[in-house]
A and B are shown apart, each in its own frame.
Chain A
Amino acid sequence: MARLSIEHLRKVYGEFTAVDDCSIDIADGEFLVLLGPSGCGKTTTLRMVAGFIQPTAGKITIGERDVTTLPPWKRNCGLVFQSYALFPHMTVAENVAFGLEMRKIAPADRAPRVTEALRLVRLTGLDERYPRQLSGGQQQRVALARALAIEPDVLLLDEPLSNLDAKLRQEVRVEIRDLQRKLGLTTIMVTHDQEEALTMADRLVVMEKGMVRQIGTQRELYEKPADRFVAGFIGRSAFLDGAMAEAGRFRSGGGLDISCKATASGPATLALRPERLAIGADAEACANRFPARVEHVSYLGALLDIDVRLTEQDRILLQVPNRPGAAEPKPGDMITIGWAEDAGLVYPREAKA
């Protein structure tokens, strides 16, 4: 177990930059999740740490060891593959023992460690089975046990749960997390399942187009998204395009004057979390209040999702509590919506090519 540091990592394929200037520090025992849309470079980053892809530039340090140029078999990273990659011609016990064998551990000393690894993943008694005789969930656990048995400095998980059904995924999620805490394993997990990322991570890294957009805790990412991409990617946001009229005043494309806590200038985008918006009487006390036409209402039990239009160009999504007895807005209704000054986050607008 060790801390892992990735500095200015970069991978270029011909003309295409798959990972660009990626720097991440992972503390000893921390569970870090790499999150991002498909093709953003998560797997590439993970495989560079494992040693299967040679970085174009940058440095990877595990503990005190600079491993940047070490081959995979000298890195002591436990990697769990998305497809599990169990050895089909070896039994469960042989699979788990393989890494120990490679470390020249005597057969007599391997057995208890294999048993212990299988006990950790709750697979006791299946030692003599072959991978094809196991369910998907059991195979996944063998893959995990095999990675844990070598007592890796870092544990790397590439979408380890994506081949499991929803219910099993919930269970294994908790199990992996408990195990990781118990063993104090420094871990990087890749996923594009946001819920999975939010429930498991100590900290998250949001990537897009090969670049790290933001690193932080769930709360930091949700409440202080670093840019418009993160604001839209983590949770939901409504966006109003416009420009800063002066410090603290944003003017939307549809001409609304909105007060906000921003000092930027020039073209900008205002991001609003749906649940920070209020309607009707609740909106009375808000700094920003506007009339709006209801376009669409979704009933979600305790909550209502309401799409409203403020002007021709300005549309917003609201999420409000569904109070028993209160009249439910209907499409076509005119209502008043409002939000506090600090609810709107302003991001400079990237010039459109």
Chain B
Amino acid sequence: MSAARLSLGRLALNGAATLSLGFILLPLFFVFWLAFFRQEIPSFPPEGYSLKWFQAAANNKPFVDGFLLSLQVGVSATLIGLVLGVPASLALMRHRIALGPAINTLLLLPLVMPGIVLGTSLYVFQIETEIATGLPVLGSAGGLVAAHSLVVIPWVVKLVTASLAGFDRTIEEAAQNLGAGPWTTFRRVTLPSIRPGLVAGSLFGFVTSFGNLEMSLFLVGPGRTTLPIAILQYLEWKIDPTVAAASVIQIVLIGAAMIITDRYVKLSRVV
């Protein structure tokens, strides 16, 4: 009797889990499905299947250029995010800094701030900077990368501080005792220990940058369009499955990156 109730409870739980998973996966499923439809206007049931939209996506110059730009911006922003985020995490975790918790919150802010708000304020800031310095900032690659670093930093800080929290500092002392200076100690002992956080932080930071639309809308210049913006612009004119095909390519690439990363660092354990 109680066993029966138990299995009933389990059934309900499994049901709920399946339902929410379905809720997440269903749109993905449709995007995948749609990408292979033969007809131009998506309608059900499909008239037939074809790979031509993938070809169309690959031949679409704005998509290809956007993809390359997003890749460059994402990689640069991730590198900058690491260079700034790792020392920041070390400082926050290791030294009692005045306003430490406040700085920590501040560093995480770009992640929770609505993209539109972030975009608007950066837009204004970059215009003001341009006026003040006379340098071309708004619409430049540098301006875009700088903005994207802002959304990478929170991921790096969040995940690196998490891996530092469980780090035993006596092994750094052991290294120094054996003759390693501060830099060697960091490279040989600290870095390997925080690598999971570093890898996961870079991955999520990169993905966030790569998929960013709202903020980038304010900051891109003429002839410089990221992939999400290129897709948006395409959708203003057409709704054929080219967009679905482009999305499938992105999803597959990001999925592959996560699976490869997960082989080295268990993502479920760091995030």
User: Does A78 reach chain B (CB closer than 8 Å)?
Assistant: yes
- CB neighbours (8 Å) of A71 from chain B are 176, 181
- CB neighbours (8 Å) of B168 from chain A are 83, 85
User: Does A353 reach chain B (CB closer than 8 Å)?
Assistant: no
Q: Give Cα A86–Cα B173 distance, bound, in whole angstroms.
A: 11
User: Does A73 reach chain B (CB closer than 8 Å)?
Assistant: yes
CB pair B177 A87 closer than 8 Å: no
User: Does B162 reach chain A (CB closer than 8 Å)?
Assistant: no
CB pair B175 A52 closer than 8 Å: no
CB pair A98 B178 closer than 8 Å: yes
Task: For B179, give the chain A residue with the smallest CB separation.
Answer: A102
CB pair B170 A150 closer than 8 Å: no
CB pair B177 A78 closer than 8 Å: yes
CB pair A87 B170 closer than 8 Å: no
CB pair B173 A52 closer than 8 Å: yes
In the complex, which of the residues B171, B178, B180, B184 contacts A88, with contact meaning CB atoms closer than 8 Å? B171
User: Does B223 reach chain A (CB closer than 8 Å)?
Assistant: no
- CB B69 to nearest CB in A, in angstroms, measures 37
- CB B193 to nearest CB in A, in angstroms, measures 7
CB pair A87 B189 closer than 8 Å: yes
CB pair B179 A85 closer than 8 Å: no
CB pair A79 B171 closer than 8 Å: no
Q: Give Cα A172–Cα B110 distance, bound, in whole angstroms.
A: 55
User: Does A233 reach chain B (CB closer than 8 Å)?
Assistant: no
- CB neighbours (8 Å) of A103 from chain B are 179
Known: A85-B171, A86-B171. A146 touches B178 (CB 8 A): yes
Known: A87-B189, A88-B193, A102-B184. A72 touches B171 (CB 8 A): no
Task: For A76, give the chain B residue with the smallest CB separation.
Answer: B179
- CB neighbours (8 Å) of A77 from chain B are 177
- CB neighbours (8 Å) of A102 from chain B are 178-180, 184
User: Which of B178, B180, B184 has its CB near the most chain A CB atoms (within 10 A)?
Assistant: B178
Q: Which 8 A-B pairs have the closest CB atoms?
A: A102-B179, A99-B178, A85-B174, A85-B170, A72-B176, A89-B192, A79-B177, A85-B171
Apart from A86-B174, A146-B174, what 6 extra A-B contacts exist at CB < 8 Å?
A: A72-B176, A74-B179, A79-B177, A81-B173, A85-B168, A98-B178
